[in-house]
Amino acid sequence: MAATATNTDRVIGTALGGGQRPRGGNGFHLLGGILTLSYLLLRTTKKCNTVDSELRRVGAAGAAAIYWHFMDGLWVALFLLLFFWK
C-alpha cells in the first residue's frame, strides 16, 4: 500500500522548512538569538563605570528578551495552528 501526502502534510512540511523553499528561516532566527545572548554575556563581564553604559546594557537585555519571547510565542502559535488544522 503506497503512502500518499495529504494537503495537511504538505502545509506542515512547508511551514516547518520543507517544501520547495530554502530552509534557512529557522536557523536564521536561532542564530540571531544565540548571537544576541552571546553579546549580552560578553557585556555582563565588562565593568560599567557610568549610568549611561548601565542603561544601554539594560536596554540591550530588554531588547533580547522581547525578541526571544516573540519567537517563543510565534512557535507556540505555529504549532497550535498546525495541531488544530483540519
Tens digits of residue pLDDT in 18-75: 554 555 667 777 788 788 888 888 887 877 778 887 788 888 888 888 888 888 898 8
- Side-chain half-sphere CA neighbours of 2 within 13 A: 3
8 located within any domain: no
Q: Does the residue 16 lie in any domain?
A: no
Angle between helices 25-45 and 51-83 (to 10 degrees): 150
In the block, residue with C-alpha cell 557610568: 50
Does residue 17 fall inside a structural domain?
no
Q: What global pTM score does this model have?
A: 0.53
Q: Is residue 57 part of a domain?
A: yes
Q: How many whole angstroms separate alpha carbon 54 and alpha carbon 47?
A: 9
